[in-house]
Structure 1
Amino acid sequence: MMLAKFFLLLAVVWTFEVNAAISSFLEEMIKMNPPMNIRISSGSFGEYTVSWDGNCTFQDNVYYQLDYKYLNPSDSKSYSYFVQEYQKKMDLELHRGLFTQVKLGYFGDTDDEISSNWTERTFDLPRDSFASVDNLTCIFYGNTYMNCTWDINENAPENEQYILSYRKEQTSDMYNCTNYRMSGARNTGCVGHKYDIDLSYEIIICISELNNKTKLPYCRKVKPYYFHKLNNPINVRINKSTDEVTWNLPEVNFGPSCYKYQLNITNWNDKEDQKVKNTSVAKYVISRDKTKRYSVQVRALVNDICLESTIWSDWSKPLIIAPDVKDISFLTIAAVFAVILVVLTLLLVLICIKCKLVSKVFQPIPDAGETFKGLFEECNGDFQKWINKNP
């Protein structure tokens, strides 16, 4: 029994010594072989290869760690890769400038980090190394079509033409825009282009100069779902007994819990009384003064439960809500009928009175022939003759 314990202890000591020796060897090998001479080379649209020199025999858990981030002060996000080779192909927005650092390290189950020193390099190419455009932005309308626009720099050649291409990240299949918007003779947008790649795939979109192949393309890495714009809601209606507004989306690509909505409620009797309300379901009970006129519009967005978007749909057509018509009671009807009857009676009285006054004012003209028959029958209207005959 004692002999077995002795051999067990010997095995533990031996294992510890061997592991210590291996650890010492790895630490010396790693620290003595930091990466050197970081460089970058361009490949297909937006693809670049970051490479370096090294002298390392790769083993389990021994990797090069490559970190990079863009030089934009407003974007400090850092990206990391672990590779067992001397290069890494990446899709980059190189026009933003790039800071890179590489180190060799043992990334195993040891508590102590074993790594070489970082080797760093910054790539900040002149702006005129890239296609002379800026502000490339795209909006995706489901898996149907996309619209992209860009600005042309002031120093861009007047006869230069621009083309848009895109591909899924880390693939080589390229797609080209089929329908351009032009300003003068130059393309400034890609509109109504059929887009049928799943929105969850990250893509890289590049603008290239057609006549200048020496310039690098101006590229952006885009998550299409982040710029996904829904069609505006339809069939907006209200139940006036409950004041519940409901609506529909023309296309539903996700579950009902994947959307959020906003309602723009406007009181037309007081234009300053305008409210925007949020809801996660396709219905909302509004609060209103039923004696006033309102309009309601709705817009939609994919929420962060599914594939979060940053672009709201357009507002729906306004739903006009007229003031409610009050029910007329029996007493009100009777009162109105009595008033009408009184008014009609007064009108009849006035008509009768008016007829008597007319008869008095416009008396019939007396017939002189009846009163003075001799004047007309015997003297033929000769007044002097009639006087002499009847002194």
Structure 2
Amino acid sequence: MRAAPGPWAAAATAVFLLGDFFFFFFAAGDTATGEALPIHIINFNFETVQVTWNASGPTGTNFTFHYRFRGDNCSQCPSYLLQQGLPVGCVLKAKGDLMMDFSIGNGTHTVLSRSEWISSFLKPSSPRDLQFHWREEATTVTCPDLPYRGLRYEVQHKSVFDQEWQSTEEDTCNVTIRALDADRCYSFRARVTTKESSYGPHTYPSDWSEVAHRQRGEPRASCQKTPFSSKFVLVYGTVAALIVVLLPLSVWKLHRVKKLLVPRVPDPKVTFPGLFESHQGNFQEWIKDTQNIAVLNKTGEDREHESLLEGPLVVQRPAAKAEAPAASTTGPSHPQAAHKEAAGDPDALPCPPAPGKDRISLGGFTFVVNDNAYVTL
């Protein structure tokens, strides 16, 4: 039998393996092939780590993945992600917030080697067991906090009348949402995000939790749009009542203001009867037909004055001028004229009016007078 190796042999083996590890991770470097190999790292809630490379298309190369967490030995990927039969990623179990050293090789040389804190690529798990505590116009959403810090818990909600989700965030999973309508049905969802000050800019938000539907604190299978809520009917009913009351008042006020500023123009149909009915608004034609027509209401004085006109009319002229015509017209040489005068013919005059004299007609009688004559009725 072969004797067991001594202590020096074990020490030599450890030195050999350690030198090989450092050569594997740091001697080759990222430029072994002179080509950049994009990688994508996701730390799923410090439970598993997923590293993918060139996942957008087939690489055509059978890459291998080696890794280790600080303080552990180097290991090959326990579970590869395949695409068209070739490895394009690796899924491995995480061991807390530790730094991970890894390398990707093509069998002959190392293509890439790197060291990263897996917390820089954290993707928290989704919130679970959401609880809703309703008050009058608010609800508080609670859930178990994740076992690490530096997180933000975001709860979104919307009703059937909202177009977009509305967000509310807190440092713990105890988020209160206010200004809710108790009569409406709301949908809720939650997720966890990381603080950049704690984990850096390359982290990922968690997936959204399952959407929960609540109305007045009671679970609903879904939220469907209802015609109107009671508050909606109250508000719009009040507005409609105010419009019904204020509109006539406004019209009345407007009419008074218009009447004050713009005086009313009288209708000519009342003032000028027949102007539009008979003459189509032609005032010249209307005035020709109506200028000699006047309807007067006779008062007591008018009737008395009219009765006086029925008595004899006396025409007085100056004595010197009135006697001569009288003598010449009643003499024997003019019996026809005397007969006409005695018969009372109003149209019979001894002769045409002389120049400078005027003819007037009163009560069916025609008289010739000069400037000095006057008539007494």
Q: TM-score, normalised by structure 1?
A: 0.44
Say which one has the larger Rg: 2
Higher strand proportion = 1
Q: TM-score, normalised by structure 2?
A: 0.45
Higher helix proportion = 2
